[in-house]
Each structure stands twice: as structure tokens, then as C-alpha cells.
């Protein structure tokens, strides 16, 4: 397996995801988040990463999944992209895995919407599927703001003004 | 020691140090004109400055050296060992005298007559120095003397006289007492902007500001100041920022501990951190004279350009502010100065008539106050005329008459900060295009500053700018709202109001559902932070906390849940996605390690549509629209088309509308012409271009033209001899509006159809008409 790719894996609910380790700066436990009013809903807020202020993006909201339970504290996967450093909020952290490119497959045609843009493909592992994300696209302003539109349409984005 | 002398010393010593190297370079390559020129410049600068500062002896020596160098530079003399020695002796002599200046602020008694004489002799091409001696030890291994045969074999006598003279001091100087500037050099050292020299007057220049803490005694000035990379300073500044944060965290923690030694240590840490922060900040500080220095020249050139007389006065040149802010202020200040000369100061005649001196005065002031830098640019010119501004605003459709009636004179004056508002009656090449003041305002606001103006008709205008000392670390008020903490920069803070329980229900009143608070008899608009940020109020406190804020000229009260304390915060930028949210200026890390957002007061005011501010924006938008409309607006001439149709002709290419009697028509070949203003005007009949297209019953009515039968209406296109006349039946009207082509052209000679005055109107194809007329124009020319 010469071209084995190293993926940093994590879970949203029981869905299994991975991002290339090359993009990942570090993985850290829950940090207090300062919410940013009026920001797109996918942006949960700001965290203090050893003196650096990092924007935290909720992957659940980005992929249009239901919010995690209130007592479940998200973990941070700190990613470096061309747009800067971001923290990806996920439910649980998995292992770093080497995967065989031979078992890679592009996403099925039935996938649509924002997920189709963000999910690069699938590694068919023993007993489960591992979805890989396109980190380069994840934090582009148009993607982050798109999440906002959807949420506003759903009418659940922000509490109604007093 | 005088600041000017200190700068002179730093600069001169630095220059001299380089000279040593350059002489060595010259020895290897005596033909190197660039090096010679740069040596010349250094000496020239020294000479110019010390002449200005009254160091006569020093100046004499430098002057002699400069004369010699100028010949060398121009290639009139060859560089020889002897000359090199003489020049090096001169450098040593200058250095000795500079040392003297540093100790005593005078250049000493020694006047180096021997050295000067040698320099002069060499300059006159002489190598005549009689006493032969060993070659100068300063030059090291002798250079092959081939380049200068004349002087080659004559060794330098100079070193010895210079040193011995110094030892056996004062033989009375043969030169006249040199405290007064010698005439021939006076022009070169005059600090006036007229200086014909290519060099700026050195006094006005500032090098990396010498630390003002340097003790005047011990170390030489050259040793006590160094040049440092700005990125390094930036890095230090960031580190200090981090240190301030760490300090805040420790302080917060230690007050909870009952441990006296820890408390003492942390307080010491706190103090040292503050001092360090201040120190680092000072390294980035530069005097405002760095950007002001160029203004006397700018003003002179501008004033000459518009035949005005203006003198510049500066106060507080030494006021320091952060380097990045200095950079950011450069353009706005230049603009204000230009404006003051172009719009502010009147022509000499007008000034005389107004009983003012012909020479206008531009005053630039800078000073520190309340942790901010204040900069004022005033002129003693005509001042802003609110009446004129008012009519301009009305004319441009910026404000309605109703609004205008409600505006104060000051409101009118502030309209100059709107985009596109220019009061200059004519556009000059300096200003008057109506772009500028709004840019100045935006630029200043971008660095957290504010600008306002005061003006009195006939007395002048003053622009007042306030900017923060530095951008990286700012004092801020910390408040809590909706369970989150926010920082409000203190620059914007005016006062805090606490409304207690009894007044709670009556304190805030409503003007047409907009909340206001009576602050000392004046109505203050109220903004609820929770509402603006869509936060849910968590407080159950029965008091109302109002933070009175100011942005530009607008005041408003911000209602917050809780007021905490003031803190120095380190401003960190937000991610790009979040920068689009106007209400935040950045974020900072608090003592407990949590992130807090910094509120952008201007952004909040805009978000909340604080009255006057949104007006500004409305006005700007209206102005923009008006301009866009103007650009699309067309003026059309309406004529009756053959038959009873209506035809629109663009007015722009039309030079005149004329009426001729039909019997004036003559013929040239098969063309109808008429004599018009000494030339022949060929005529084309509209009905020849557009055939008659009407039904018979209409034709029957058509004869009833209002125009008299023996008169014809002619539209004249073009100018000079190249004219052509279009004969039409009747000119109906001239209309001006934005027209939209509604239908396509149905026949030649027509571009399309419009609806004008509720009637379908054809648009005349002026392009093809002029093409058709081209041969006739040639005819007119030949005639």
C-alpha cells in the first residue's frame, strides 16, 4: 500500500468521517466557545487556542444535520486552510487511519446539495463507510454563508427579536 | 541638548562612518562617480546643516572639502592619493569637531586653516605642497599612481599639519568670524521651501528617532541609537500583547488566593508588564514631523499654482504617534492641506478687500490629550458658507426644503463630508471634483479616529482630528449583555448612566416608537444592544445601564445588561466571514481565557439607524442616484416628423436652431444652400430622409402647420465651416429625461421608438444622418 493515505477520523452521531492529516494542526478537547451574534449559524463562535482566536465551525450544521444534544460537548479539530485556521466542531474523535486508495469511491449521484460539494468520496472499510471531506472548500465564505440561508429559511436560526 | 542638534549629530556621524568605507572603495576604483557623488552629498549635507546651526568652523572645513569633491565628481580632477589623504583628514577633522559639538554644543576653537588651505590648493589643481613626506598612512598600501601623473609623486603633507595644529591651538583664524552665514552658501542652507538644492533641508529630516532618554553626557550619540527592523518591533508588540493577557489572567487568579508573597510578586509583574508595554509602544512612535516635513513645500507649490500666498505654521511637530498611524494619516492630511489652499485661502485681492493680510496662514497643530492624538489643520480663509452649502444641497436634490429648514448651520457644513459634495465653483486641477472629504473621513474612521470641523464665515476653517495613540492595545469598557461579555473601546465612551428602580419605567420615553432618554435636557437616542445583536436578556436586575457613546458627531445611549470594568485589551482581527458583520471591530482574550467580542460603535450606530447617521447614508445614496440619473439623462429636441408623427433628435450635436425665409434658399449644384454667417450652409430636408408615410385623410389635415408658410425651421449641426442644416416642418419642444427605447427601428433614419409626453416618438438616427451629410460638408468647405 504505497499510496496509503492518512486520515484523521471522527464521528457525527454514528456517521464516520475523515480529513487528510496534512490539513490537521491538532485535535483538542472541548474549549469554551464565545458565540458571535449575527454570524452565520454554522459559525458557533470563537475559541481561544493558546492566545490565538480561532473561528469554530459546527460540522453538523454545515452538513445540515440536527444539532447535537445540549449535554454533548463538541471536540475541536483544528485545521489549517488557505482561508486561515479554523476549528471543526465534531462529536467524537476517532483514530488516525491509513486507508487504501483502492477502496475509494466517489460519492453516489443521489447525494446532493451542500453535502455533495463537501464530501469528496467514500472509503469502503470493513463493515462501515468512511466519508472524506474536502477541507479546502469547507471554510470558504460562500459555503459558510450558504448554511445561513438555509437556516433562515427554516426559521430556526435566531430567536425572534424582542 | 537641542533636538535638532541631536538629529544632526546622529545623521552626520552615521554619514561619516560610511565615508570611511567609501574612500576605501574609491581607492580600488578611482573612477567610480557614484561613490564620489554620494561622498559629496554627505559632506554637502553636513555643511548645509552646520551652516544653518551656526557651526562656522565646521562649515568652513566641510565647504572646502565639498568644493574639492564637486570637481572630482564632475571629473575635472582625478582622484589621487594625495586628495584622498586630504579628504580623510577632513573627515577626521569633522569628526573631531562633531565630538566637540556633542560635548559643548559648539564646534570648538580650532578652525583648521592648514587643512582648508590644502583642500583649496588641491582644488585649484595644484599639487604644490612643498614639503615632501611619507605617503599618508591612512591609505595603507599605495595605489599605483597612474591615474594622476601630476600629483602622483607628491606625498601628502596633510595629516601632520592637521594634528599639530590641533595640538598647538588657537592661531587666530584668517576667516572672518563665522557665526554669520557666509554669503555664497546662504542660499543653500536657507530652510525655506524654495531651496534650489536637490536635497531636502536636512533639519527637516528625521532619522530613526533618537531615544530622548539618552543621557547627554556619556555615550556618543552614534552609539546610543540603532536602526531596528519594523517587523521585529511588530513582533515584540505582539509578544507584549500576549504578556498583557497573561498578566491579566494571573492578576485575576491571585486576588482569589490568600498568599501575600504571590500577591506582591504578581503586582510587581503587573507593573513591569505595563512599563514594558509602554516602552515597546514608544519604539514604534514617531514624531508627526515625519509627515509634516513635506508640507511647506507642498503648500508653496500649490499656492504658486493658484496664485495665492500662503505661509505654513506648525505647532507640536514633535508629537508622537504609532508608525502605522503616521502612515495612515499621510493621505488624509495631504488632502486637507490641499483643500485648505485651494478652497480655503482666498486670492490676495479678495483677502485685501476683506481687510486681511494678503498672505494666508495655514496652521497645523498636533498635541496629546486624553490618551489620543489631536491634529488640527486650520486656515484663515473664507470659511464655509452654510447658505451656499444649503443651496448646493437643494440644487443637487440631496435634501428637501423641509429638511433644510430643520438643519443647523453646522449640519450644512458637515455636508462636505458626503461623497460627491464639492463647493468649489470651478474644478481646478488640485481639487473640486467632489471626491475627497468623504474619503478623508472614511480613512480616519478606519483607524479609529474622528474628524470634525469648525468654520466661521470670513474667518477660516479648522479641521479637528482625533486618533488613538496606537491600534494594538486599547483601553476598553467591558460590559455584559445577553450573558456574553463585550468590549467597547474607550475612545467612543462618553459617560455611563444608571437608571435606578424608581425611574425605570419613566426614564425612557418614545418619539414615534423610537426610544430616547433625557440627558441634561437633551434627547439621546437609545439603542438596546440585546435587540441589535438578537440576544436574549438574561439579567433580572431592576436598573437600566446606559452607556453613552459617540461616533463622529453622533451620540447615542446603548442599553446593556451589566457594566463590568475597564481593561486594556489586545485587539485581534476576526476571520473574513465575520468581518462582514458591521457591529464588531475584532475580538480579544479576557483574563479568564475566554474570548470577548469588541463592539464597533460606528457599526452599531449604522445597524440601529441612529438618526443623523442614517441620514448621512441616505444623503450619500441619494447623491449617488442623482449622479447616475444625470449620466443617463438625455436632452432631446422634439420636432414634427413629415406627416403628423413626432420625431426626437438628440440635442448634443445640435449647435443652433435657426429660422430662415424660404426665399433665401439658393442652389449649388443639386443641393439647396443658404448663406449663413459668412459661410455656405448646405440644407437637407427631413422629408427627403424620412419619406412621408401617412394616410390620405391625415394628409388633408397636415397642411395646417403653425409656422408661417414663408419661413422654415432649420436645425444646424456642426460648427465653423463644417455645418449642415436640417430643415424640419416644426420644432415642438425640448425635453430632458431618462429615456428608454421601447420599440425597434421600423425604417431607415430611425434608431427606435420612445414614449415622450405620452406619445410614441421616433428617435432620429443622428449617426447615419451625419454620414449622409458628410459630402455636403465637403462642399461647404470647398466653397
Q: Which of B227-231, B634-638, B676-680, B776-780 has the lowest mean pLDDT?
A: B776-780
The answer on B441 and B374 residing in a single domain is yes
A147 contact residues in B (CB cutoff 8 A): none
Confidence of residue B629 (pLDDT cuts 50, 70, 90): low
The answer on B241 and B169 residing in a single domain is no
Domain residue limits at B258: 230-283
Q: Which of B56-70, B204-218, B693-707, B762-776 has the lowest mean pLDDT?
A: B204-218
Question: Measured between CA atoms, how close is A139 to chain B, in angstroms?
Answer: 9
Q: Among B534, B577, B589, whose Cβ lies nearest the Cβ of A158?
A: B534
Range of A69-78, B28-37, B56-65 with top mean pLDDT? A69-78
B535–chain A Cβ distance below 8 A for any pair? yes
Q: Which of A66-75, B121-130, B458-467 has the lowest mean pLDDT?
A: B121-130
In a domain, B217, yes or no: no
Check residues B205 and B745 and name the one with the higher pLDDT: B745
pLDDT of residue B607: 80
The answer on B551 and B529 residing in a single domain is yes
Range of A67-71, B546-550, B683-687, B755-759 with top mean pLDDT? B546-550
The answer on B762 and B675 residing in a single domain is yes
> Among B552, B584, B614, which residue terminates a domain?
B614
Chain B stretch 538-567, residues whose beta carbon is closer than 8 A to a beta carbon of chain A? none
Number of domains present in the structure of chain A: 1
Residue listed under C-alpha cell 436632452: B635
Q: Is-contact B551 B599, C-beta < 8 A?
A: no
> Among B190, B219, B247, which residue terminates a domain?
B190
Burial string for B261-280 (b: 16+ CB within 10 Å, else e) reads: eeeeebeebbeebeebbeeb
B239–chain A Cβ distance below 8 A for any pair? no
Confidence of residue B628 (pLDDT cuts 50, 70, 90): low
- Taking the C-alpha atoms of residue B323 and residue B317, their distance in angstroms, rounded to an integer, is 15
In a domain, B218, yes or no: no
Q: Among B531, B577, B595, whose Cβ lies nearest the Cβ of A162?
A: B531
Question: DSSP letters along A64-120, please?
Answer: TPPPPPTTPPPEEEEEEETTEEEEEEESEEEEEEEE-GGGEEPPPTT--HHHHHHEE
The answer on B380 and B520 residing in a single domain is no
Taking an 8 Å cut-off on Cβ atoms, the answer to whether A46 and B583 are in contact is no
Taking an 8 Å cut-off on Cβ atoms, the answer to whether A53 and B572 are in contact is yes
Q: Among A35, A53, A162, whose Cβ lies nearest the Cβ of B530?
A: A162
pLDDT of residue B657: 81
Question: Measured between CA atoms, how close is A1 to chain B, in angstroms?
Answer: 39
Residue range A85-111: mean pLDDT, rounded: 87
**B222 phi and psi angles, rounded to 5 deg:** -60, -30
Taking an 8 Å cut-off on Cβ atoms, the answer to whether B576 and A37 are in contact is no
| Residue B308 CB coordination number (10 Å) | 22
How does pLDDT run across B717-741, given as a tens digit for each residue? 876 667 888 888 888 887 777 677 7
Question: Measured between CA atoms, how close is A16 to chain B, in angstroms?
Answer: 28
A129–chain B Cβ distance below 8 A for any pair? no
In a domain, B202, yes or no: no
How does pLDDT run across B76-101, given as a tens digit for each residue? 777 777 787 888 888 888 888 888 88
Taking an 8 Å cut-off on Cβ atoms, the answer to whether A39 and B531 are in contact is no
Q: Which distant-in-sequence residues (6+ apart) come within 8 Å of B587 by Cβ?
A: A34, A46, A53, B572, B574, B595, B596, B597, B598
A94 burial level (CB within 10 Å; 0-12, 13-18, 19+): middle
B572 contact residues in A (CB cutoff 8 A): 53
In a domain, A33, yes or no: yes
How does pLDDT run across B164-220, given as a tens digit for each residue? 333 344 444 444 444 444 444 333 433 444 434 444 333 333 343 444 444 444 556
> Among B283, B318, B352, which residue terminates a domain?
B283
The answer on B384 and B356 residing in a single domain is yes
pLDDT at B334 over 50: yes
The answer on B168 and B20 residing in a single domain is yes
Instruction: Output the average pLDDT for chain B.
Output: 74
Q: Among A36, A47, A51, whose Cβ lies nearest the Cβ of B578?
A: A36
B587 contact residues in A (CB cutoff 8 A): 34, 46, 53
Confidence of residue B37 (pLDDT cuts 50, 70, 90): confident
In a domain, A159, yes or no: no
Which of the residues B577, B579, B590 would you substitute to probe the A interface, choosing the one with the greatest number of A C-beta atoms within 10 Å?
A: B577
A147–chain B Cβ distance below 8 A for any pair? no
DSSP A34: B
A76–chain B Cβ distance below 8 A for any pair? no
Question: DSSP letters along B530-593, please?
Answer: HHHTTPPP----SSEEEEEEEETTEEEEEEESEEEEEEEEE-BPPPHHHHT-TTEEEEEE-TTS
The answer on B396 and B434 residing in a single domain is yes
The rounded radius of gyration (Å) of the Cα atoms in chain B is 39
The answer on B145 and B253 residing in a single domain is no
**Any idea how long chain A is?**
162
Tell me which residue of A24, A34, A11 sits closest to A86, measured CA to CA.
A24
In a domain, B72, yes or no: yes
pLDDT of residue A161: 41
pLDDT of residue A57: 92
Confidence of residue B365 (pLDDT cuts 50, 70, 90): very high
In a domain, A16, yes or no: yes
Cell numbers that stand for B344 in this block: 480655503
A32–chain B Cβ distance below 8 A for any pair? yes
A26–chain B Cβ distance below 8 A for any pair? no
A155–chain B Cβ distance below 8 A for any pair? no
Check residues A51 and B204 and name the one with the higher pLDDT: A51
A161 contact residues in B (CB cutoff 8 A): 531, 534
The answer on B153 and B13 residing in a single domain is yes
- Taking the C-alpha atoms of residue A96 and residue B209, their distance in angstroms, rounded to an integer, is 55
Q: Pairing between strand B743-744 and B750-756?
A: antiparallel
Cell numbers that stand for B500 in this block: 435606578
Domain CATH code at residue A77 = 2.40.50.180
Taking an 8 Å cut-off on Cβ atoms, the answer to whether B531 and A48 are in contact is no
Q: Which of A60-69, B357-366, B505-514, B734-743 has the lowest mean pLDDT?
A: B734-743
Domain CATH code at residue B481 = 2.40.50.180
The answer on B536 and B481 residing in a single domain is yes
Cell numbers that stand for B396 in this block: 443637487
Which of the residues A28, A32, A38, A148 would you substitute to probe the B interface, choosing the one with the greatest number of B C-beta atoms within 10 Å?
A: A38
Residues linked to residue B483 through DSSP beta bridges, in sequence order: none
Taking an 8 Å cut-off on Cβ atoms, the answer to whether A159 and B534 are in contact is yes
- Taking the C-alpha atoms of residue B551 and residue B559, their distance in angstroms, rounded to an integer, is 16
In a domain, A103, yes or no: yes
Domain CATH code at residue B414 = 3.30.565.10
In a domain, B699, yes or no: no
In a domain, A26, yes or no: yes
Question: DSSP letters along B430-471, please?
Answer: SS-SS-SHHHHHHHHHHTT-EEEEEEETTTEEEEEEEEES-S
pLDDT of residue B709: 66
Domain CATH code at residue B33 = 1.20.120.160
Residue range B427-432: mean pLDDT, rounded: 42
Residues linked to residue B713 through DSSP beta bridges, in sequence order: B659, B728
Taking an 8 Å cut-off on Cβ atoms, the answer to whether B533 and A38 are in contact is yes
B575 contact residues in A (CB cutoff 8 A): 55, 83-84, 86
pLDDT at B435 over 90: no
Residue range A38-64: mean pLDDT, rounded: 88
**B445 phi and psi angles, rounded to 5 deg:** -70, -30
Q: Count of A–B CB contacts within 8 Å?
A: 73
Taking an 8 Å cut-off on Cβ atoms, the answer to whether A86 and B597 are in contact is no
Q: Pairing between strand B372-379 and B360-369?
A: antiparallel
B577–chain A Cβ distance below 8 A for any pair? yes
Residue range B523-549: mean pLDDT, rounded: 84
Domain residue limits at A128: 5-151
Range of B115-119, B400-404, B695-699 with top mean pLDDT? B115-119
**A122 phi and psi angles, rounded to 5 deg:** -130, 135
In a domain, A115, yes or no: yes
In a domain, B212, yes or no: no
Which of the residues A33, A35, A48 would you substitute to probe the B interface, choosing the one with the greatest number of B C-beta atoms within 10 Å?
A: A48
Tell me which residue of B750, B782, B744 sits closest to B768, measured CA to CA.
B750
Q: Among A32, A43, A47, whose Cβ lies nearest the Cβ of B578?
A: A43
Taking an 8 Å cut-off on Cβ atoms, the answer to whether B595 and A47 are in contact is yes
Number of domains present in the structure of chain B: 5
Q: Is-contact B586 B604, C-beta < 8 A?
A: no
Amino acid at each position: 500500500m504505497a499510496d496509503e493515505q492518512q486520515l484523521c477520523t471522527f464521528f457525527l452521531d454514528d456517521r464516520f468521517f475523515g480529513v487528510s492529516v496534512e490539513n490537521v494542526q491538532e485535535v483538542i478537547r472541548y474549549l469554551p466557545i464565545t458565540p458571535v451574534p449575527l454570524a452565520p449559524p454554522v459559525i458557533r463562535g470563537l475559541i481561544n487556542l493558546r492566545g490565538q482566536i480561532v473561528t469554530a465551525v459546527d460540522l453538523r450544521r454545515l452538513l445540515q444535520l440536527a444539532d447535537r444534544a445540549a449535554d454533548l460537548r463538541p471536540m475541536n479539530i483544528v485545521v489549517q486552510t488557505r482561508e486561515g485556521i479554523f476549528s471543526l466542531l465534531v462529536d467524537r474523535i476517532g483514530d488516525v487511519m491509513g486507508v487504501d486508495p483502492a477502496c475509494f469511491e466517489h460519492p453516489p449521484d443521489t447525494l446532493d446539495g451542500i453535502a455533495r460539494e463537501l464530501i469528496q468520496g467514500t472509503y469502503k472499510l470493513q463493515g462501515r463507510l468512511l466519508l472524506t471531506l474536502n477541507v479546502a472548500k469547507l471554510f470558504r465564505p460562500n459555503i459558510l454563508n450558504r448554511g445561513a440561508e438555509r437556516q433562515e429559511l427554516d426559521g430556526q436560526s435566531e430567536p425572534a427579536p424582542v | 541638548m537641542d533636538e535638532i542638534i541631536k538629529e544632526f549629530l546622529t545623521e552626520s556621524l552615521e554619514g561619516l562612518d560610511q565615508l570611511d568605507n567609501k574612500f576605501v572603495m574609491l581607492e580600488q576604483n578611482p573612477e567610480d562617480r557614484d561613490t564620489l557623488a554620494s561622498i559629496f552629498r554627505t559632506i554637502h549635507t553636513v555643511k548645509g546643516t552646520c551652516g544653518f546651526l551656526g557651526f562656522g568652523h565646521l562649515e568652513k572645513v566641510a565647504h572646502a572639502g565639498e568644493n574639492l569633491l564637486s570637481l572630482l565628481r564632475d571629473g575635472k580632477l582625478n582622484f589621487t592619493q594625495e586628495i584622498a589623504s586630504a579628504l580623510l583628514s577632513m573627515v577626521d577633522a569633522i569628526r573631531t569637531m562633531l565630538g566637540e559639538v556633542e560635548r559643548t554644543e559648539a564646534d570648538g576653537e580650532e578652525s583648521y586653516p592648514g587643512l582648508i588651505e590644502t583642500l583649496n590648493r588641491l582644488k585649484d589643481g595644484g599639487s604644490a605642497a612643498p614639503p615632501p613626506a611619507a605617503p599618508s598612512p591612512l591609505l595603507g598600501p599605495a595605489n599605483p599612481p597612474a591615474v594622476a601623473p601630476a600629483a602622483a609623486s607628491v606625498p601628502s603633507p596633510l595629516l601632520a599639519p592637521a594634528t599639530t595644529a590641533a595640538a598647538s591651538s588657537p592661531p587666530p583664524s584668517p576667516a572672518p568670524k563665522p557665526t554669520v552665514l557666509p554669503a555664497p552658501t546662504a542660499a543653500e542652507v536657507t530652510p525655506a521651501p524654495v531651496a534650489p538644492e536637490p536635497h531636502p533641508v536636512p533639519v527637516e529630516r528625521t532619522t530613526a528617532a533618537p531615544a530622548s532618554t539618552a543621557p547627554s553626557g556619556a555615550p556618543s550619540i552614534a552609539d546610543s541609537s540603532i536602526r531596528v527592523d519594523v517587523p521585529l518591533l511588530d513582533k515584540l508588540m505582539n509578544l507584549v500583547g500576549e504578556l498583557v493577557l497573561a498578566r491579566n489572567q494571573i492578576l485575576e487568579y491571585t486576588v482569589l488566593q490568600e498568599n501575600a508573597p504571590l500577591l506582591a510578586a504578581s503586582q510587581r509583574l503587573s507593573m513591569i508588564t505595563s512599563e514594558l508595554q509602554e516602552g515597546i509602544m514608544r519604539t514604534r512612535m514617531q514624531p508627526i514631523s515625519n509627515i509634516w516635513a513635506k508640507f511647506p513645500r507642498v503648500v508653496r507649490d500649490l499656492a504658486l499654482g493658484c496664485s495665492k500666498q500662503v505661509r505654513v505654521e506648525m505647532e507640536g511637530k514633535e508629537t508622537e504617534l504609532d508608525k502605522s498611524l503616521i502612515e495612515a494619516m499621510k493621505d488624509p492630511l495631504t488632502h486637507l492641506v490641499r483643500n485648505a489652499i485651494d478652497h480655503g485661502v482666498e486670492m490676495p485681492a479678495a483677502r485685501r478687500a476683506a481687510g486681511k493680510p494678503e498672505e494666508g496662514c495655514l496652521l497645523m497643530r498636533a498635541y496629546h490629550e486624553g490618551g489620543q492624538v489631536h491634529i488640527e489643520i486650520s486656515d484663515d480663509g473664507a470659511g464655509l458658507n452654510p447658505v451656499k452649502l444649503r443651496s448646493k444641497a437643494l440644487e443637487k436634490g440631496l435634501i428637501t426644503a423641509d429638511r433644510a429648514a430643520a438643519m443647523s448651520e453646522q449640519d450644512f457644513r458637515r455636508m462636505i463630508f458626503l461623497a460627491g459634495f464639492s463647493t468649489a465653483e470651478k474644478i481646478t486641477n488640485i481639487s473640486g471634483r467632489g471626491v475627497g472629504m468623504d474619503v478623508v473621513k472614511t480613512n480616519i474612521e478606519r483607524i479609529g479616529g474622528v474628524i470634525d470641523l469648525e468654520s466661521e464665515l470670513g474667518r477660516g476653517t479648522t479641521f479637528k482630528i482625533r486618533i488613538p495613540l496606537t491600534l494594538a492595545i486599547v483601553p476598553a469598557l467591558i460590559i455584559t449583555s445577553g450573558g456574553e461579555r463585550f468590549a467597547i473601546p474607550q475612545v467612543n465612551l462618553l459617560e455611563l448612566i444608571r437608571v435606578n428602580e424608581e425611574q425605570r419605567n419613566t426614564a425612557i420615553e418614545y418619539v414615534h416608537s423610537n426610544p430616547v432618554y433625557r440627558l441634561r435636557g437633551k434627547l439621546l437616542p437609545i439603542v438596546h444592544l440585546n435587540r441589535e445583536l438578537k440576544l436574549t436578556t438574561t439579567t433580572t436586575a431592576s436598573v437600566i445601564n446606559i452607556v453613552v457613546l459617540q461616533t463622529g458627531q453622533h451620540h447615542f445611549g446603548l442599553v446593556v445588561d451589566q457594566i463590568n470594568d475597564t481593561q486594556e485589551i489586545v485587539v485581534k482581527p476576526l476571520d473574513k466571514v465575520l468581518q462582514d458583520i458591521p457591529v464588531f471591530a475584532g475580538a480579544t482574550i479576557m483574563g479568564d481565557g475566554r474570548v470577548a467580542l469588541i463592539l464597533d460603535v460606528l457599526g452599531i450606530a449604522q445597524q440601529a439607524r441612529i438618526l443623523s447617521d442614517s441620514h448621512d447614508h441616505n444623503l450619500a445614496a441619494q447623491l449617488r442616484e442623482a449622479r447616475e440619473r444625470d449620466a443617463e439623462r438625455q436632452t432631446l429636441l422634439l420636432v414634427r416628423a413629415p406627416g403628423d408623427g413626432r420625431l426626437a433628435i438628440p440635442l448634443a450635436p445640435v449647435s443652433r436652431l435657426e429660422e430662415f425665409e424660404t426665399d433665401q434658399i439658393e442652389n449649388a449644384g443639386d443641393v439647396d444652400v443658404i448663406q449663413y454667417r459668412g459661410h455656405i450652409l448646405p440644407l437637407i430636408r427631413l422629408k427627403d430622409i424620412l419619406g412621408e408615410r401617412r394616410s390620405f385623410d391625415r394628409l388633408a389635415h397636415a397642411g395646417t402647420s403653425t409656422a408661417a408658410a414663408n419661413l422654415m425651421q432649420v436645425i444646424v449641426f456642426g460648427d465653423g465651416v463644417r455645418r449642415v442644416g436640417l430643415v424640419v416642418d416644426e420644432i415642438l419642444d425640448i425635453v430632458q429625461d431618462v429615456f428608454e427605447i421601447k420599440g425597434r427601428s421600423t425604417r431607415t433614419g430611425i434608431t427606435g421608438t420612445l414614449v415622450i409626453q405620452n406619445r410614441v416618438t421616433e428617435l432620429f438616427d443622428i449617426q447615419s444622418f451625419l454620414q449622409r451629410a458628410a459630402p455636403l460638408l465637403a462642399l461647404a468647405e470647398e466653397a
